[in-house]
Amino acid sequence: MERKAIHDQIGQVRLHGPGPSDVPDSVLEALSSKTIGHLDPDFLRVMDQTQEMLREVLRTKNRMTIPISGTGSSGMETLVANLVEPGDRVAVVRNGVFGGRIADEVSRFGGQVVAINVEWGRTVEPEQVKEALSSGDCRALFLVHAETSTGALQPQMKEIGQLAHEHDALFLVDAVTSLGGTEVKVDEWGIDAAYSGTQKCLSVPPGLSPITLNERAMDKLRNRRTPVQSWYFDLTMIEEYWNEGGARKYHHTAPVNMIFALHEGLRLILEEGLDAVFERHRKNAAALQAGLESLGFTYIVEKAEERLPMLHAVFLPEGADEGKLRKQLRAECSLEIGGGLGDFAGKAWRIGLMGHSCREEKVEALLRDIRSVIVQEHGGPSA
Ligand SMILES: *Cc1c(COP(=O)(O)O)cnc(C)c1O
């Protein structure tokens, strides 16, 4: 088989799936900078700035705010490995694929999952959380802020955080899809630890998982009865490399160029301003929703105020063949969108407007392409 260089194999696909999202040119340039050492003074400065920007985007003062080497799931695994001890009871809200993945992680690390099962497409009620926590002695509550498999945004974050604290449980949050696309207020909401990913609304290639832990979470880590069950994700060691004033002690070689890319991605978001970024997501989401509904798509999430601005999970119009149309969009329009996951496989699309993919002209082009394949197949509502 002939092996061509990557440059000659990869086309200009527009990314409107559930991640990765389109990456701005300046982020790609940062990624292709000269590689330097992970202990080089220039790199240490970039690390400090990256942490500072992560704190701003996460709205936190937590000293322990760093990118974990690995995709979003590595942040999930880091929190579980460090904050769950064998035998700990951990409440996990399961209202989609990612809540299910967290429950799997918790049980693999020896935790006892107290599942709070919620119908897919819905969010959890504080009352249900209270009931689960009152049933006894949970060390932590895990919640997905933006469930990418169903398109649901969890409201009442602050109230749920308070409930966790009243029951002496850590409030642990998956902010993989929400960060950089809608408000995530770590300190104000009482979140004890959270993780995210780079390839969703931060519009950086996949490969890093920003995490943050407050002192309450760090106390739990420092007072463990057992060592952290993962060497690679052991924050007591990783801390000695990352934290300013620490020994900068080698643990594993930092993915230097990915951190350059994250630095540039965060810099762009803060330059635009968080509020402006969120407003751009809201506006474009409204335009996409109007366009999709006019074509006969319906939203999995019934409550309009609980729909994600950055991910539109929709059922196709009656009789449309989702797999065929999705392949056609990729082949004829160089457009990537996502299929349904789990319960919604074969029935739904997941259309992303994440970060740099969330621009007015991109939404217009996206709707034009979707309309053209739907109309071709059905002769449905024409433009
Ligand atoms: C994408 C995603 C993850 C997993 O991230 P990977 O980068 O695929 O490992 C976890 N949680 C949510 C809510 C996600 O959307």
pLDDT averaged over 10-residue windows placed end to end, the chain, 383 residues: 90 96 98 97 96 98 98 98 98 97 98 98 98 93 98 98 98 98 98 98 98 98 97 96 84 97 98 98 98 97 98 95 96 97 93 98 98 82 47
CA 149/CA 118 separation, integer angstroms: 13
* In the chain, alpha helices (H): 25-31, 41-58, 72-83, 97-108, 126-134, 157-166, 215-222, 235-242, 256-272, 274-294, 322-333, 360-378
In this prediction, residue 247 carries a pLDDT of 83
Residue 1 lies in a domain: no
176 pocket-lining for ligand 1 (C-beta < 6 Å): yes
**Terminal CA-to-CA distance of the chain, rounded, Å?**
44
Residue 132 lies in a domain: yes
Q: State whether 366 and 260 are in the same domain.
A: no
Cβ-Cβ contacts under 8 Å for 195 (sequence gap 6 or more): 68, 72, 75, 76, 78, 79, 173, 174, 175, 176, 209, 210, 211, 212
Residue 341 lies in a domain: yes
Q: State whether 258 and 317 are in the same domain.
A: no
CA 99/CA 103 separation, integer angstroms: 6
Q: State whether 229 and 302 are in the same domain.
A: no
Residue 222 lies in a domain: yes
Helix axes 256-272, 274-294, angle to 10 degrees: 80
CA 44/CA 244 separation, integer angstroms: 9
154 pocket-lining for ligand 1 (C-beta < 6 Å): no
CATH number at residue 80: 3.40.640.10
CA 149/CA 98 separation, integer angstroms: 7
179 pocket-lining for ligand 1 (C-beta < 6 Å): no
Angle, vertex CA 335, rays to CA 196 and CA 351, nearest 5: 45
Tokens of 211: 């995490």
User: What number of helices (H) and strands (E) belong to the chain?
Assistant: 12, 14
The last residue of one of the domains, among 212, 240, 269, is 269
**Atom of ligand 1 at shortest distance to CA of 145?**
13
Cβ atoms 114, 132 nearer than 8 A:
yes
Q: State whether 131 and 171 are in the same domain.
A: yes
User: Ligand 1 center to residue 2 CA distance, Å?
Assistant: 34
Q: State whether 14 and 37 are in the same domain.
A: no
Helix axes 72-83, 215-222, angle to 10 degrees: 60
99 pocket-lining for ligand 1 (C-beta < 6 Å): no
In this prediction, residue 300 carries a pLDDT of 98
Ligand 1, atom 5, residue with closest C-alpha = 72
Cβ atoms 30, 261 nearer than 8 A:
yes
Question: Judging by DSSP bridges, how do beta strands 298-299 and 311-315 pair with one another?
Answer: antiparallel
Cβ atoms 353, 19 nearer than 8 A:
no
Smallest Cα–Cα separation from 252: which of 227, 228, 234, 278?
A: 234
Ligand 1, atom 14, residue with closest C-alpha = 176
Single-letter residue type at 206: P
Cis omega (within 30 of 0) on the bond before 18?
Answer: no
CATH number at residue 334: 3.90.1150.10
Residue 383 lies in a domain: no
User: Ligand 1 center to residue 196 CA distance, Å?
Assistant: 8
**Residue of 69, 73, 92, 202 to mutate, ligand 1, most atoms within 8 A of C-beta:** 73
Q: In terms of pTM, does the model score above 0.75?
A: yes
Residue 263: φ, ψ to 5°: -55, -45
In this prediction, residue 375 carries a pLDDT of 87
Q: State whether 233 and 298 are in the same domain.
A: no
Q: State whether 55 and 166 are in the same domain.
A: yes
Residue 323 lies in a domain: yes
Q: State whether 187 and 62 are in the same domain.
A: yes
Q: State whether 257 and 292 are in the same domain.
A: no
**Residue of 69, 123, 150, 176 to mutate, ligand 1, most atoms within 8 A of C-beta:** 176
Q: State whether 174 and 37 are in the same domain.
A: yes
71 pocket-lining for ligand 1 (C-beta < 6 Å): yes
- Long-range pairs of 47-55 with CB within 8 A, sequence gap ≥ 24: 47/242, 47/254, 47/259, 48/244, 49/263, 50/259, 50/262, 50/263, 50/266, 51/242, 51/244, 53/263, 53/266, 53/267, 53/270, 54/210, 54/212, 54/266, 55/212
207 pocket-lining for ligand 1 (C-beta < 6 Å): no
User: Ligand 1 center to residue 148 CA distance, Å?
Assistant: 8
Residue 216 lies in a domain: yes
Which residue is it, tokens 């897919």? 120
21 pocket-lining for ligand 1 (C-beta < 6 Å): no
Rg of the Cα atoms in the chain: 21
Q: State whether 146 and 278 are in the same domain.
A: no
In this prediction, residue 381 carries a pLDDT of 52
Number of domains in the chain: 2
Q: Domain residues for 374?
A: 6-19+274-378
The last residue of one of the domains, among 269, 297, 326, is 269
CA 64/CA 292 separation, integer angstroms: 42
User: Ligand 1 center to residue 226 CA distance, Å?
Assistant: 28
Which residue is it, tokens 């390839």? 199
**Atom of ligand 1 at shortest distance to CA of 76?**
10
The last residue of one of the domains, among 226, 244, 269, is 269
CA 366/CA 377 separation, integer angstroms: 17
242 pocket-lining for ligand 1 (C-beta < 6 Å): no
Cα 249 to chain centroid distance, Å, stands at: 29
Q: State whether 295 and 253 are in the same domain.
A: no
User: Ligand 1 center to residue 35 CA distance, Å?
Assistant: 27
